[in-house]
Structure 1
Amino acid sequence: VLATKKDGLMAECGEIDIHITGRDAHAGLPQNGIDSLLVAAHLLEGYQQILTRMKSPFDPAIINIGQIHGGTARNSVAKECEMHGTMRTYSEDVFNFLVKKMEDFNKGAEISYGCKIDFSCPPLYPPVLNDEKLVKFLSEIDDIVLLDEPLMLAEDFSFYQKAVPGVFVFVGTKSEKYQSGLHTDHFNFDEKVLKRAVDMYIKIACQYK
């Protein structure tokens, strides 16, 4: 199965890296420390407030923190904490807006808690924005499934689309024998699907004007 979608197909992504520096202390004397784990919890909640209260609900976006590492002992206030995550949007403007709001939130936390926050979230890939005319052309020359909704995946094919109009097409690989998804250690597929993709390229080469 070949599948695509006009306009936004996949998201812009950025990688979030945060290092919080507080001050260590004994758990029995918390007033002498600055708890980096408490700051991390504050940031986690705040970032979700940015998504739900500062951005239009009609501009989909994800801020996901997938890793938190901090602290050295159960009976101490954690001096340092690291957080790592990803952000996804379909708009470069929304991406930049969210980064700015996260930076503002971090500054507020630094003032409130007396900590130091090092923050980075550079854009990794732009959004995949398929050219509407090319999608229409493909659907006329081949059996292409047109998806109803975009995906929050990301793809560096989008850099080509920044230079010239283009279309990203999914080549379905799932079958009775091969069921695993992408990014697994046992991914495999029936190589017959490659011929299906090559056939599409031949049609494009022969019929595009």
Structure 2
Amino acid sequence: MKFIDSILADAPLIQRLRRDIHAHPELCFQEQRTSDLIAQTLSEWGIPVHRGLGTTGVVGIVKNGTSERAVGLRADIDALPMTEHNTFAHASTQPGKMHACGHDGHTAMLLAAAKHLATNRNFDGTVYLVFQPAEEGGGGAREMIKDGLFKLFPMEAMFGAHNWPGMPAGAFALKTGPVFASSNEFKITLRGKGAHAAMPHLGVDPVPAACQMVQAFQTIISRNKRPAEAGVISVTMIHAGEATNVIPDACVIEGTVRTFTLELLDLIERRMEEMAQGIASAFEVSCEFKFRRNYPPTINHPAETEFVRQTLSAMVGPEMVQEFEPTMGAEDFSFFLQEKPGCYFLIGNGDGSHRIGGHGMGPCTLHNPSYDFNDDLIPLGGSMWVQLAEAWLNQPRP
């Protein structure tokens, strides 16, 4: 593996920053302390910063030479609303908040790269260091774009990475095309007429209609979409009633829809509403159908993905750069890829054996209260970002 000596030497410093961020998690659009720390650290290293995009976003600007070329590197900075089970020294000090997805580590790896880039500047052009808030459901990428990210900082391409527990530390995975799914939510409210459970004929029961809908929605997956296409409809909540002997007035169905293409998403949304309204009519209940599109699918661009593959292969060896199996999880880096060419890829976080004493009993998986980022990735991730930025800016314009 081709690590950069200065990043290896700075690893203890960056680890302290990472653990400080881990101990002080902040939720989406509330990352004030985190963004203060990032901005102060970058400024101390002589890197100009721009603040306020997406409320708490930070952009560091590292320039060299005369070229107008520019590339963007992104790290997300927000935590999750969950309670940490770890008890080691850098565990969360904020009840109900935890860095359980490794955004503290993503931030640390980009900071490691920032320090080296600012000190050495072995490129001609500009590297934009994008520290993005609110990835966990807030759509911080979308908000940074709305606030003028690409107008203020024009760049040719943008790259991002996520740690991946279970994949060997030191390995990478990527793929051209869709890699993360779109994330969407639905809420269907059925209204009938309440009655005594012993006299159902005097009411209009919304519960049987809800049961029919839950079953019928799965026929969209099995009978309306092409079998080769990937799509998931998950009904995750049904709320109705307050007593066992009362037929309720209303029933609420909620859940998510995930697809790799917007075309399939259009089909599923249309068919769900048609089925919901048709079944409601058949059962003589009213139906309010709401469908909210959160994150679009994350779709990597071919040329940029091949660029990352070649750069990482030269760094760690081609045998350590795997083909990524797409996941139905969602990622708001998708908004960046709708605007700019780029690639979103994975860096292995290991099997959890890196965790120090005091970790929880659960596995070291994403969104788990016993998770912790693998600090051994800091030199690897920092070197990765430097080599990607230098390779991009020093190659002929794409």
Q: TM-score, normalised by structure 1?
A: 0.94
Q: 2-side partners of 1:74 and 1:170: how far apart?
A: 49
For each residue in 1:80-120, what CA deviation from the matched residue of structure 2 results, as whole angstroms up to 9, or x when unmatched?
Answer: 11122110000001101100000100110221011112121
Shift of 1:191: 1.5
Check the 8 A contact 2:174/2:324 in 1, yes or no. no
Shift of 1:148: 5.0
Q: 1-side partners of 2:321 and 2:329: how far apart?
A: 18
Check the 8 A contact 1:69/1:83 in 2, yes or no. yes
Tell me: CA distance 1:140–1:155, structure 2 relative to 1, closer, same or farther (3 Å): same
Q: 1-side partners of 2:327 and 2:321: how far apart?
A: 15
Q: 1-side partners of 2:191 and 2:277: how far apart?
A: 13
Q: TM-score, normalised by structure 2?
A: 0.51
Shift of 1:167: 0.5
Where in structure 2 are the equivalents of 1:75-94 lying within 5 Å? 75-94=245-264
**Equivalent residue, structure 2, for 1:68:** 238
Q: 1-side partners of 2:291 and 2:367: how far apart?
A: 23
One-letter amino acid matched to 1:14: N
2:338 partner SS = helix
Q: Relative contact order (alpha carbons < 8 A, sep ≥ 6): 1 or 2 greater?
A: 1
Structure with the greater alpha carbon radius of gyration: 2
Aligned partner of 1:9 among 166, 170, 179: 179
84-93 or 113-122: bigger deviation: 113-122
**Equivalent residue, structure 2, for 1:114:** 284
Is 1:163 the equivalent of 2:339?
yes
**Equivalent residue, structure 2, for 1:191:** 375
For each residue in 1:174-195, what CA deviation from the matched residue of structure 2 results, as whole angstroms up to 9, or x when unmatched?
Answer: 3313442111222212222133
One-letter amino acid matched to 1:173: N
Q: 1-side partners of 2:354 and 2:389: how far apart?
A: 32
Is 1:98 the equivalent of 2:268?
yes
2:329 partner SS = coil
Tell me the number of residue pairs that the alignment of Structure 1 and Structure 2 aligns.
Answer: 209
Is 1:134 the equivalent of 2:304?
yes
2:353 partner SS = coil
Check the 8 A contact 1:6/1:129 in 2, yes or no. yes
* Runs of at least 4 residues off by over 2 Å: 143-149
**Equivalent residue, structure 1, for 2:353:** 176
Q: 2-side partners of 1:81 and 1:187: how far apart?
A: 37
For each residue in 1:45-86, what CA deviation from the matched residue of structure 2 results, as whole angstroms up to 9, or x when unmatched?
Answer: 010011111111111100001111111211121221112211
Check the 8 A contact 1:37/1:71 in 2, yes or no. no
Check the 8 A contact 2:174/2:309 in 1, yes or no. no
1:168 partner SS = strand
Unaligned runs of 5+ in 1: none
89-98 or 67-76: bigger deviation: 67-76
1:159 partner SS = helix
1:68 partner SS = strand
